[in-house]
Amino acid sequence: MNKIVEVQDLGHNDYKATWDYQEGLFKSVIDTKIKNRREEANLETQNYFLFVEHPHVYTLGKSGDFSHLLLNEEQLTQKGATFYKINRGGDITYHGPGQIVGYPILDLENFFTDIHKYLRLLEEMIILTLMEYGLKAERSPGETGVWLGVGTPFARKICAMGVRASRWVTMHGFALNVNADLGYFDNIIPCGIRGKAVTTLNVELGVDKVDESELKAKLLKHFMNLFDAVPRHKKSVF
């Protein structure tokens, strides 16, 4: 089992270009698995972890409700945003500057074959990272992602998650609000959940800006520990 995870920081990159890149890596892992099965080969499957920050974009998961986007095409243009219906789970979410997005493309057969466990470990990575900033982040029963103030009238979501998996290979991932403009969330019903707020790390800490490089390092540390994996850094292709 290959426990090495190739880490790439794609910087600021277009959503569609990143999605296409993800799909290419995802397909390459699946193709290796198919070849191993058909030809009784014993090729290692690769694992990847992509960091990226997108321009303003709204994405709707395959089970999502289009009515949860509260903008028409003209209003999207005025906001400088784009929209995509995509093949992950979950409903609608927003990505944009100041939000750290992570896309792990893993062959879970290198780690464990349990999608529920995979999602819970991604949540735990966020919870442990936010703990380093003095915040008590939690899961909200029945709602994927990471929240603050669970069980209070001030519950607010700080990290959204949505994944796709096929043949135990994952793609898509998490979106953690770090220095994001929360105004863009007013244009959707985030994750299809009405009546709950969204927050960002710099607001919670009462600072102008959180160091995103430092945050990525903390996320990566916890990810590798939780998955018992070894990072290998590679320069971005973009």
Q: Which residue numbers belong to the known binding site for substrate?
A: 88-95, 160-162, 173-175
Contact between 29 and 169 (Cβ < 8 Å):
yes
**Residue 159 is a catalytic residue:** no
Partners of 230 in the β-ladder: 4
Q: What is the CA radius of gyration of the chain?
A: 18
102 contacts 174 by C-beta, under 8 angstroms: yes
Query: Within 10 Å of residue 46's Cβ, how many Cβ atoms?
Result: 18
Tokens of 181: 């403009």
Whole-angstrom Cα distance, residue 153 to residue 59? 27
> One of 50, 126, 180, 191 is an active-site residue; which one?
191
Q: Which residues contact 146 (CB under 8 A, 6 or more apart)?
A: 123, 126, 127, 130, 137, 138, 139, 157, 158, 159, 161, 176
Q: How far is CA 147 from CA 7, 83, 202, in A?
A: 26, 25, 15
Cα gap 136→3, rounded to integer Å: 30
- Residues with a known catalytic role: 191
